[in-house]
Amino acid sequence: MTATAETTAGSRGSQPPVPDGAVTVTVKIRRFNPEFDDEPRWDSFDIPALPSDRVLNLLHYIKWYVDGTLTFRRSCAHGICGSDAMRINGVNRLACKVLLKDLLQKGDKQTTITIEPIKGLPVHKDLLVDMEPFFEAFRAVKPYLVTYGNEPTRERIQSVADRERFDDTTKCILCACCTTSCPVYWTEGSYFGPAAIVNAHRFIFDSRDEGAEERLDILNDIDGVWRCRTTFNCTDACPRGIQVTKAIQEVKRALLFKRV
């Protein structure tokens, strides 16, 4: 492994054996540790990797065998927990859901992969950002079932069609890929952002819920749904395939026509 000139990365000794079929790729990472650095920098690492590797594997390789100070969040490693949202080659992705084979350059050209933290949230260290503003927006839309009156003794009845109505938005894993891909969110952090609206949608269109009006009032706010410029970045960024922009439009329509 050769760390290129601009890196300050120390070596952790010899690297493990290179597996058959590995290619060398350059991973260029935006680094910043406010504890020691005055400003962000780029570090580049040339490492061996298999085409079937996830980008998360590449980050682990660097952390485990080259530079232990590289910092990022991750947990489940298969796109369910939502920890490892980052900007990979300029688009928001989960590092555990992008395979190297889909990023490789054609022919003999060496592949460079650029990795930055998601945008619009303060960087704590390297690829790890402050998630609090994101979760604050989520909590603000009353993301829970609101009901009044007595609870039934058994389950509430809901038709298959009514259940289907909000199925798409139940898939959200709160990874922030959508919200931090939104140009409006980048410039106006006070905007609730797509993820919060998706989670409001999940309840507004749930036939069991009685809190739609309260939530619609919240989203009718100056920082609510009307900020959306239908750029579709969010829909493209969602690792769960949620039609995010469509959900936002449905909330807008509910506000316009006062019905869910």
Partner 1 sequence: MQFHKYDVVIIGAGGAGMRAAIESGQRARTAVLTKLYPTRSHTGAAQGGMCAALANVEEDNWEWHTFDTIKGGDYLVDQDAAEIMAKEAIDAVLDLEKMGLPFNRTPEGKIDQRRFGGHTRNHGEAAVRRACYAADRTGHMILQTLYQNCVKHGIEFFNEFYVLDICLTETENGPVCTGAVAYELATGEIHVFQAKSVVFATGGFGKVFKTTSNAHTLTGDGMGIVFRKGLPLEDMEFYQFHPTGLAGLGILLTEGARGEGAILRNASGERFMERYAPTIKDLAPRDIVARSMALEVLEGRGAGPNKDYVLLDCTHLGAEVLETKLPDITEFARTYLAVDPVVEPVPVYPTAHYAMGGIPTNIHGEVLRDNDNIVPGLYAAGECACVSVHGANRLGTNSLLDINVFGRRAGIAAAEYANSRETHVDLPENPAAQVEAQVALALSEHGQERVADIRTELQATMDANASVYRTEDTLKTALHDVQALKERYAHIQVQDKGKRFNTDLLEAVELGFLLELAEVLVHGALARKESRGGHAREDYPNRDDTNFMRHSMFYKQGDGLTADIRMDFKPVTFTRYKPMERKY
3-state helix/strand/coil string of the chain = CEECCCCCCCCCCCCCCCCCCCEEEEEEEEECCCCCCCCCEEEEEEEEECCCCEHHHHHHHHHHHHCCCCCCCCCCCCCCCCCCEEEECCEEEECCCCEHHHCCCCCCCCEEEEEECCCCCCEEECCEECCHHHHHHHHHCCCCCCCCCCCCCCCCCCCHHHHHHCCHHHHCCCCCCCHHHCHHHHHCCCCCCHHHHHHHHHHHCCCCCCCHHHHHHHHCCCCCHHHCCCCCHHHHHCCCCCCHHHHHHHHHHHHHHCCC
Using CB under 8 A, which residues numbered 82 to 121 contact partner 1?
A: 82-83, 97, 99
Interacting residue with partner 1 among 50, 124, 232, 236 (CB under 8 A): 124
67 binds partner 1 (CB under 8 A): yes
Site for partner 1 in 133-152 (CB under 8 A): 135, 138-139, 142-145, 151-152
Site membership for partner 1, residue 77 (CB under 8 A)? yes
Instruction: Specify the stretch interacting with partner 1 by CB under 8 A; choose among 155-163, 182-190, 217-225, 251-259.
Output: 155-163
Among 6, 105, 171, 210, binds partner 1 (CB under 8 A): 171
Of 48 and 228, the one with the shorter C-beta distance to partner 1 is 48
Smallest gap from Cβ 119 to partner 1, in A, equals: 19
Q: Which residues bind partner 1 (CB under 8 A)?
A: 10, 12-13, 16, 33-36, 63-65, 67-69, 71-83, 97, 99, 124-125, 128, 131, 135, 138-139, 142-145, 151-152, 154-160, 162-163, 166-167, 170-174, 203, 206, 208-209, 241
